[in-house]
């Protein structure tokens, strides 16, 4: 498993945090997500054989935020 931190812009409240968490968890190969609202950062644990940072970032952008 690989752990990476991704900077996220545009989260304003707990709802945004939940949306981003859900979007990242939906990426195939992601096993854990911890979104820090105040720190504007997500810590993502994923299987590098199945998921890529680019795919995770794309999911964040699709959810309406900037990665
Ligand atoms: Cu919000």
Provide the 8-state DSSP code for 1. -
In the reported structure, the alpha carbon of residue 49 is separated from the centroid of ligand 1 by a whole-number distance in angstroms of 32
Is residue 9 a part of any domain in this protein?
yes
User: Would you say residue 6 lies in a domain?
Assistant: yes
Number of domains in the chain: 1
Record the tokens describing residue 12, joined without a space: 């304003």
CATH number of the domain that residue 21 is part of:
3.30.70.100
**Dihedral sign for Cα atoms in the order 28, 55, 43, 34:** negative
Q: How far apart are CA 49 and CA 25, in angstroms?
A: 16
Residue 18 CA to ligand 1 centre (angstroms):
8
Q: Which residue has the tokens 């990426």?
A: 27
Q: pLDDT tens digits, residue range 16-39?
A: 999 999 999 999 999 999 999 999
- Domain assignment present for 30: yes
Classify 56 as helix, strand or coil.
helix
Quick check: is 36 in a domain?
yes
What's the domain range around 8?
A: 2-62
pLDDT given at position 31: 98
CA of 42 to the centre of ligand 1 (A): 15
User: What is the overall mean pLDDT for the chain?
Assistant: 98
pLDDT tier for residue 1 given thresholds of 50, 70 and 90 = very high
For residue 67, tell me if it sits in a domain: no
11 CA from centroid of ligand 1 (Å): 6
pLDDT at residue 62 in the model: 98
Distance from Cα 63 to the centre of ligand 1, integer Å: 12
């Amino acid at each position: 498993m690989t752990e990476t931190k991704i900077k996220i812009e545009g989260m304003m409240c707990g709802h945004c945090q939940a949306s981003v968490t859900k979007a990242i968890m939906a990426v195939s190969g992601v096993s854990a997500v911890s979104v820090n609202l105040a720190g504007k950062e997500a810590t993502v644990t994923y299987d590098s054989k199945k998921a890529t940072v680019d795919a995770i970032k794309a999911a964040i952008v699709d959810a309406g935020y900037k990665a």
